[in-house]
Amino acid sequence: MNGLSNYLRVSRNILASLEEEEFWTRYPTLARIQRSTDASSSPDVGAIFRAIRDDLPAAADFIDRFLILAARLDLQQAEIRQDYSYLDETLPQGQAVRTAISEGMNLPFRKANYLCHLSNRHKYLYVATPKVACTVIKHSLQQAEMDGTLVFRQYGDEHFPTLSPLLAPLDDPKLYFAALKTDDWFRFTFVRNPFSRVLSCYLDKIVNSVLERNRLLPEIGIDPAAGIPSFSDFLKGIAGQTEDQCDIHWAPQSWLTQPQTMHYHFIGRLERFDTDFQQVCQVLGIAPETGAARHSTDAAQKLAAFYGGEEIELVRMIYARDFTDFGYDSQHLTTQ
């Protein structure tokens, strides 16, 4: 890894508006690298990215986000624009870029920008499907970008785009549009049987997490103060939503992944994850990381305990396109 043109240009601009001491106090890990680097050489891009990532505060402001974006683009061997006004959604340029990103995937901008992960180094676009091994996939892909040197401070870091070495569409719209339109880029996603996916969502987000239960239940018209709703009531709440209103953890996969728009080269299945992800990694020329934790609720083993006739009919109705688009059996309660 080499080439620090974006980072150097952006850091110089930041230093023009901050006192130098304030800058290095703000980024202590970065300061240590700076002090330990020989004057005749430069630290590699990976070291710079890791340092900014380690220093990034929980409430990162525009300066923090822009500095790590510059390092991320260096890492991905992509050039940041001289005019970065497109990052500001209050400006016409920012609005136009967001509209184009939304239209490119046929999804609302925020969802498209969150779900799409691009690697210019390995030329792929991965569309993450929540509750379909997306944590272990992101973990492996992010480690591959950093040649295995990335340290995850806590479980779930994989899901924060700011911390990721992979690009989101807004990070480099030009690359995003190229990834959508050309077979030079490998486009892939993973899906799951709707019966087990929505049960996994219910167990993970509603049964097992007070924080998520309090956040999500009002979205489907259920008062969290009333306790944990039945699986049937949870499904009835989802049935009253449009696709756009659905939280991404229970939104239909056919809507989230947009297979008719995306023209994927590969759609893997959770039911044969080890084989399918190994195949993806072979195409990308990377090695899947061993031992990456999976956020498992064992939903596939609990179908009989939660499904009766009413629940089966609700899932068939809510996820009709998922069954059709991805070839899952809607007539039988199965994980296959």
Tokens (6 digits) for 23: 């800058």
pLDDT for 40 equals: 61
pLDDT for 78 equals: 84
- Residue 223 belongs to some domain of the structure: yes
- Residue 125 belongs to some domain of the structure: no
- Region 137-143: mean pLDDT is 96
Residue in the structure block whose two tokens are 């992509």: 78
C-beta of residue 136 within 8 angstroms of C-beta of residue 292:
yes
d(CA 69, CA 165): 9
Q: Identify the domain boundary among 20, 51, 80.
A: 80
Residues 200 and 319 grouped into a single domain: yes
d(CA 212, CA 223): 13
- Residue 97 belongs to some domain of the structure: no
Tokens (6 digits) for 222: 């259920």
Q: Which of 18-27, 72-81, 106-115 has the highest mean pLDDT?
A: 106-115
Q: Identify the domain boundary among 62, 80, 98.
A: 80
pLDDT for 290 equals: 61
Q: How confident is the model at residue 90 (pLDDT cuts 50, 70, 90)?
A: confident
- Residue 175 belongs to some domain of the structure: no
Q: Identify the domain boundary among 55, 80, 105.
A: 80
Task: Pick 234 or 9 by higher pLDDT.
Answer: 234
- Residue 134 belongs to some domain of the structure: no
Tokens (6 digits) for 14: 């930041």
Helix (H) or strand (E) holding 45: helix 45-55
Structural domains of the chain, count: 2
Amino acid occupying residue 37: T
C-beta of residue 284 within 8 angstroms of C-beta of residue 144:
yes
Tell me which residue range forms the domain holding 217: 190-263+290-326
Residues 197 and 320 grouped into a single domain: yes
d(CA 74, CA 79): 7
pLDDT for 155 equals: 83
Relative to beta strand 116-119, strand 124-127 is: antiparallel
C-beta of residue 181 within 8 angstroms of C-beta of residue 262:
no
Nearest to 47 by CA among 134, 130, 146: 146
- Residue 49 belongs to some domain of the structure: yes
Phi-psi region of 77 (alpha: psi -120 to 50; beta: other; left: phi over 0): left
Helix (H) or strand (E) holding 99: helix 92-105
Relative to beta strand 116-119, strand 186-191 is: unpaired
> pTM of the prediction?
0.93
d(CA 268, CA 264): 10
- Residue 58 belongs to some domain of the structure: yes
The CA-atom distances, in angstroms, between 103 and each of 85, 109, 125 are 20, 8, 16
d(CA 311, CA 324): 19
d(CA 98, CA 88): 10
Amino acid occupying residue 307: Y
217 pLDDT above the threshold of 50: yes
- Region 137-154: mean pLDDT is 92
- Residue 231 belongs to some domain of the structure: yes
2 pLDDT above the threshold of 70: no
Point out the least confidently predicted range of 62-66, 100-104, 196-200: 62-66
Tokens (6 digits) for 153: 């401070």
